[in-house]
Amino acid sequence: MTLTDNTPKWATFARQEYLVQLFLSSGGFCVFGHKLCQFAKHHYPVYIESLIKAWQQDDREQAADDWDRERKAIHCLGEQSYPITGRFNAISKDIFASNQPLYYLEGRAVSGLTLKPFVRVRLSSSYLRLYVDLSDALRQVSKSKRRKATRYGKAFPREIESKIRLTILRAVRDYLAY
């Protein structure tokens, strides 16, 4: 017997098999094997109704747990929200902040609107991102080298890399001074 669209959700193959085995062992009468059973809830039709209700409740709980886990997985960033060794005190927080870089370089690309090169920079200890225009810093580089650097991640010459870092640093400091 296969599950079709008309089969209820609780009726998995294992559960259907259990109901058949229960019917065969009880003969459709008392599921506990009593010869002259006086308890109505021991009779097969009444017993399987309560059994099916229990299965349905288990399925609802399982679906709620699955949804809860999926919701948490969807909204979880996978980032730790507190330090591993415990909370910072005032002194260690200042030491940690002084050792942090001012920004993190996230990527380099060409703007689809202005067709100018830019970099995406995330400010340290912040979710804020800046998009810094590099068109002035890359004027001395050929068009081919700019494309290769953007598309394939090739490095620029050292002088150009230092100009890029200086441009980014100026933009970040200008933003933070605001």
Residue with tokens 């209700």: 53
Question: Is position 131 within any domain?
Answer: yes
| C-beta of residue 59 within 8 angstroms of C-beta of residue 10 | yes
Examine the domain organization and report whether 117 and 165 are in the same domain: yes
pLDDT at 85: 63
Examine the domain organization and report whether 148 and 103 are in the same domain: yes
Residue 111, SS3 per DSSP: coil
Cα–Cα distance between 119 and 153 in angstroms, integer? Answer: 12
One pLDDT digit (tens) per residue for the chain, 178 residues? 455 567 788 888 888 888 888 888 877 788 777 777 777 777 788 888 888 899 899 999 999 999 998 888 877 766 666 656 666 677 877 887 788 888 998 988 888 888 888 999 999 878 899 999 998 888 888 888 888 887 787 888 889 899 999 999 999 999 988 7
pLDDT at 80: 62
Examine the domain organization and report whether 151 and 114 are in the same domain: yes
Examine the domain organization and report whether 47 and 103 are in the same domain: no
| C-beta of residue 111 within 8 angstroms of C-beta of residue 162 | no
Examine the domain organization and report whether 60 and 128 are in the same domain: no
| C-beta of residue 160 within 8 angstroms of C-beta of residue 141 | yes
Question: Is position 124 within any domain?
Answer: yes
Cα–Cα distance between 27 and 102 in angstroms, integer? Answer: 78
Question: Is position 42 within any domain?
Answer: yes
pLDDT at 1: 47
Residue 100, SS3 per DSSP: coil
Examine the domain organization and report whether 111 and 62 are in the same domain: no
| C-beta of residue 40 within 8 angstroms of C-beta of residue 46 | yes
| C-beta of residue 106 within 8 angstroms of C-beta of residue 127 | no
Question: Is position 38 within any domain?
Answer: yes
Cα–Cα distance between 52 and 44 in angstroms, integer? Answer: 12
Examine the domain organization and report whether 171 and 110 are in the same domain: yes
Question: Is position 168 within any domain?
Answer: yes
**Sheet strand arrangement including 103-110:** 103-110, 117-123, 129-133
pLDDT at 122: 94
Number of structural domains (the chain) is 2
Question: Is position 65 within any domain?
Answer: yes
Question: Is position 55 within any domain?
Answer: yes
Examine the domain organization and report whether 101 and 163 are in the same domain: yes
Examine the domain organization and report whether 101 and 71 are in the same domain: no
Examine the domain organization and report whether 103 and 61 are in the same domain: no
Structure tokens at 136: 């002035």
- For the chain, how big is the Rg over CA atoms in Å? 33
Examine the domain organization and report whether 103 and 173 are in the same domain: yes
| Residue-range definition of the domain harbouring residue 124 | 97-177
Cα–Cα distance between 86 and 76 in angstroms, integer? Answer: 21
Question: Is position 82 within any domain?
Answer: no
The beta-strand segments (E) located in 74-147 are 103-110, 117-123, 129-133
Examine the domain organization and report whether 115 and 173 are in the same domain: yes
